[in-house]
Amino acid sequence: MSQELPLHVTVKIPTGTEYQQPTGLFINNEFVYPKQKRTFKVISPVNEEEITSVYEALPEDVDVAVEAAREAYKSWSVAHPSKRAAVLYKLAELVEKNATLLSEIETFDNGKSVSNSRGDVALTAAYFRSCAGWCDKIKGNLINTGEGYLNYTQRVPLVCGQIIPWNFPLAMLSWKLGPVLASGSTTVLKSAENTPLSALYIGKLLVEAGMPKGVVNIISGYGNPTGAAIASHPKLDKVAFTGSTAVGKLIMKAAAESNLKKVTLELGGKSPNIIFNDADVDATIQHLINAIFYNSGEVCCAGSRILIQSGVYDQVVAKFKAATEKIKLGDPFDPETFMGSQVSEVQLSKILSYIEAGKEQGAKLITGGKRCDKKGFFLQPTIFADVDNNMRIAKEEIFGPVVSVIKFETVEEAIELANNTEYGLAAAIHTLDINKAVHVSNNITAGTVWVNTYNDFDVMVPFGGFHSSGFGREMGEEVFQEYTQIKAVRMKINKPDSKM
């Protein structure tokens, strides 16, 4: 649609908070109009009403943003690490200062509970602060090849394109921007079309933090054509994408067919959550809740396949059902609410179609399975038991609060079931036997294995997947390998003239 829209509009959140929401493209530290001044609506899943519209970037706008990033690279890539650290430390401070507002924006735009949003904001600030500490520690090596040569490597920053998802807009933005700012890279970041608001607001904080113009450029737009233009852009050195496996394949193809740019992909999952007979059942139940119903189930590494050993199967299912039915679902601005809405009507419809598929294929519906009779895209937390691992609900990523419970007998059967998936993002093991925990962890194909916990992240622990869950890592020291390229220098050195 075409519409004249101010570059900042007043938005009123249901809590009564009013604030100035940027609507333009954030390029060269300014909010600017796109060339065609095209906009799209942002609908709140909380009440199904329009929050505002924002301007849509098209491929010609991506070109402008890329040029800004390339120009900024000339100075940012060689800036003293302390300058980059100062921006990151200040940005972390500003995120914390604006934590209440950012949490409410995130909840209004995404539908997640405000308690979940507060956790996202805290992780965002913590990760920016962690990356600040890495600025002067991204280094190469001196290589000894014998007399007559000086050999060393450098880690060279990149001009990046980044595409983030709608389920964790702020947290995923920090996972992308943190290593860019720390490494001396620059970027063009596209937010998800469902949830563009918090990313644009971060643009304001970046300016306040002292970031030089052009280092980070934030644009709103759809996967096609905007995301496609980033993935195929010949002047970008790298593209990072978090989202579905299907789109990840398109990103990788576009990167290969353009300029063979570096790629990192954090994609889908169908993660196994394994409970052995010797688990602490009462403690495990809460981990099951967090694994699948946190963030309304819209989590790439959600523990959506619960594998339970036969000796505790009935006990765990009964206690899990009881705990699930006590989950507070509803007004996401209520601090006591655990589950808010799904992100959109499209996503809700997709989840409901999987619930019908589960029933049709013979899975036993234990609880939930229905849309709530209220305004907004709310869905009951749903448990299917007696599931066969070949059913659609066990094989395909649902991306919602729907879990499949599968029975197993032996340790080796659990490992086989866990690995019987195209994905490999995460897994969890619940046992009080350290030997069993180590053995199963070592034999599960997954980028992250949690033991006696779930969705338990730390900024120093790398995160990423195997197989159809993608490749590359977020967070930890490993992420800086993704945002730099190694350059080797080999210098011939002659012995000095002893007479000089």
What is the separation of C-alpha 32 from the centre of its chain, rounded to a whole number of angstroms? Answer: 27
H or E element that contains 450? strand 448-451
CA angle, 44 as apex, 41 and 45 as ends, to 5°? 125
Strands 484-492 and 149-157: antiparallel
Contact residues for 291 (Cβ-Cβ < 8 A; gap 6+): 271, 273, 302, 303, 306, 428, 454, 455
Query: Which one from 56, 106, 266, 397 is the annotated catalytic residue?
Result: 266
Which residues are CB-neighbours of 245 under 8 A, at least 6 positions away? Answer: 267, 268, 397, 423, 468, 469, 470
Report d(CA 316, CA 328) in Å as an integer.
20
Secondary structure class of 475 (helix, strand, coil): coil
- Sign of the alpha-carbon dihedral angle for 441, 442, 445, 447: positive
Q: How far is CA 273 from the centre of its chain?
A: 20
What's the rounded Cα separation, in Å, for the pair 240 and 455?
22
Phi, psi of 87 (to 5 degrees): -65, -45
- Structural contact between residues 351 and 392, judged by C-beta atoms closer than 8 angstroms: no
Tokens 């003293």 locate to 80
Which tokens sit at 417? 């079931």
Nearest to 477 by CA among 456, 457, 463: 463
- Lateral strand order in the sheet of 448-451: 364-367, 382-385, 402-408, 305-309, 272-275, 426-430, 448-451
**Inter-CA distances, 207 with 108, 220, 351, Å:** 24, 18, 39
**Structure tokens of 68?**
């800004």
* Cβ-based neighbours of 489, under 8 Å, separated by 6 or more: 150, 151, 152, 153, 154
Cα distances (angstroms) measured from residue 447 to each of 216, 262, 405, 407: 29, 20, 22, 24
3-class SS of residue 53: strand
Give the alpha-carbon dihedral of 239, 23, 72, 84, to 10 degrees.
-90
Active site (annotated) includes residue 477: no
Picking from 274, 366, 358, 362, the residue whose alpha carbon sits closest to that of residue 312 is 274
> CA 33 → CA 4, 54, 85, 190, 217, distances in Å?
10, 10, 31, 16, 13
Residues labelled as active-site residues: 266
